[in-house]
Amino acid sequence: MSINFLIGGNEKTQVHFSAKTANRHGMIAGATGTGKTVTLQILAENFSKIGVPVFLADVKGDLSGLATSGKMNDKIQSRIDTIKIENYSNHANPALFWDLFAQQGHPVHTTISEMGPLLLSGLLELNEVQTGILYSAFAIADDNGMLLLD
């Protein structure tokens, strides 16, 4: 059985995606306003419908609306009519929001060792010298079998 779902189209044709040919990882790239977020949303919604777990990194919060049922408006109805989508309905999708700061979502816990010097130096906004010292500290800890847990 093949599972295909609609991902876009225009007045003349529809574009369908075959879940059978999906990769485990993907990247959507393009200039501002070219539909990257909408494409990602459509893929996530459809994979969720067929039971495939989806992990999305959503730094700006553009995709948080997936967790709630949308409301119909003229723009959506126009797109439905243009692409000739049948049986459209707004619906909520299962979502778990991870939160590094444990303030608004599911807390994410990690150790300093798991983060490593590259990620940690970026999070701390270290300069080049500070980053070099951090790399040295990690190397010394590794050489001596010490875990950097806290």
Average pLDDT over residues 120-144: 95
Residue range 33-84, pLDDT digits in tens: 998 888 899 999 999 999 988 888 887 888 888 899 989 999 999 999 999 9
Q: Could you give the dihedral angle defined by the CA atoms of residues 80, 85, 87 and 90, in that order, rounded to the nearest 10 degrees?
A: -40
Where are the chain's structural domains? 4-96, 110-143
What does the pLDDT read at residue 136? 97
What does the pLDDT read at residue 99? 84
Residue range 20-42, pLDDT digits in tens: 888 888 888 999 999 888 889 99
Reading the block at residue 121, the tokens are: 């130096």
Q: Give the orientation angle of helix 128-143 with respect to helix 112-123, to 10 degrees.
A: 170
Q: Are strands 14-18 and 106-107 parallel, antiparallel or unpaired?
A: unpaired
- Whole-model pTM: value is 0.66
> Which residues have C-beta within 8 Å of that of residue 128, sequence separation ≥ 6?
none
